[in-house]
Structure 1
């Protein structure tokens, strides 16, 4: 690829043409140049069209004008470097104006402090701009041995200030030219020691004020950022609280739905158990409309074809069994054994009602007391089945003429439901 610029091997600065390289060599005494495929940076301000050759120039332009949008036209302006230097015009070698003696004077590039020039070029300024700044700011010939050595420390700052104030000049990128016999005198500072001290004090004061203003600006920016972050945190906290409330409401809704489904499941299971008992007892299926009345039935509607007494005993039997399970809910095996024992008593009487041994139970029997007698509701359940205590309270006896098969069947159905229904006694 053809070279797009010339790079100084001593300081690394990129130059667009041989003329710029020659001017750079005259100003810095650098002579090591080589072709480079890297183009010279060309950043054009979108607002005013000002070209900048480095990021430092971009920063200075932004600070001075407030323009922050730049278009990178480096490749558009890049073109192959022409290594043949054109002949210098006569106007570059000789000034058109005559000297006081009537003779034309030779125009040359002014001499500047090489160390300062290298420093400015290291900051990104072109050779022409750095030379102009050092020449016209009056700091070109300062050195550590000069009487005004204090200015040597602040000279780069003074040159940069000059560039910031004159970067819009049309000839800012052209090398300055002065008569050959006056270049040294023009650059020599004409300041007394007192004026040097005053100038240094003024520059220090300006630098201090500028630093304080920058600190105040940064403090304002930090305060604005702190307020913005505080508002964002507050909004995030409010949003999190709202989301938490929504989550809690949704959780409660789901819990209620789960409880409703559980109740419906238990109710369905009870209905199925009830239908199964009716089927085993040979009763017709229950009418859904009659099973779930919309309103409490009137008193006169209690009359039905079935006897009221068995239905009442069924409710009381169920309460006895439920009480037995709730009072001993920690010992399911004990409750199950009690239900099985009661079912055996009732079943034996229903199968062989004529045998007295099945209709007579000794209350002091250890097995009976352990399985049924010691549980609340056990003896009451047998009494609901027709058993009665004798006068000495030693036996439970069911007279032959008081054996009611319907009551015994109801008792058997309630016991079977209590043993098979997993939700019995829960509600």
Structure 2
């Protein structure tokens, strides 16, 4: 089978032509070449069309650009090696050179655009790298040269001056693209960059929209939870109001029963028989009427005291509310700092105390229900440390909060 490439015996590189072998020998000083039936790889990137000659080049290209799909066109581009036109390569491979007096082709540095070369050097590129980039990129533009450097920056010979046969220098220096083609290529690159930017902007906008939707859902959920909590609070407040009204009606009913019994006693009549007075009552109701009345708890006595205070000052809502707030402050201070004597001792003749609590009906009585005692001199209300009952103070705080929050407190 005819040889399809030349293999360097020193480094194993495959070269497509005698000219490449000569250039490789000049750059690396390798001189051991042999003909090979293995073709040089021609792997073309399916995305951008860049040809790669080895798996190493494809890996580097994928690393730089992210392009991972390559078309193997090795067999399409493979051609037999022409050895007759390369006496230097034939001699280096150990084969007969024919005429020993023949001279190798003279290798020279290719000519490149001096203006482009100066611009690259002003950017900091070494002269050899800039010359190599301009030569292999077609000597067409700064952008093409920079792209070539970016794709070949890991090449071992990136900073070596390129050499080509003298008779091919003119052909090599010709621009690979006409001015019109360069202009079209630049326009294509600008259009591609514009589309890429638009796609990135659309992607960013989609991400922002997703974030806005997520934040909106979180706000709606937080609002729903807040409304649910408010609804529960209103229901609890209404329930407390109904219970308060029920207790007020029951107290009025008991008061009427007591007044009725007192009038019968004053008139010398026997006590009313519950059975005869309510013949049509159901057995269950009759059973309930004979249940003993439980003594009032301290919390109920506190509630009655606050209700009495409000009823005695029913036309002074602001004054009543301020009294409730002051009592809540006294109770709260003792509950938070039971060891502080200054919170457990109140001067009765203090003008502020008299104006807010002491001068109102039931104010001092409420404090006494909380555990405060009048000292013998009658000048102070004092709560001994050993008589501080947190349960009583908590009940007092609950009753005061209920009285402050309930607009119907003490109405009945």
Taking structure 2 as the reference length, the TM-score comes to 0.35
Larger radius of gyration: 1
Taking structure 1 as the reference length, the TM-score comes to 0.34
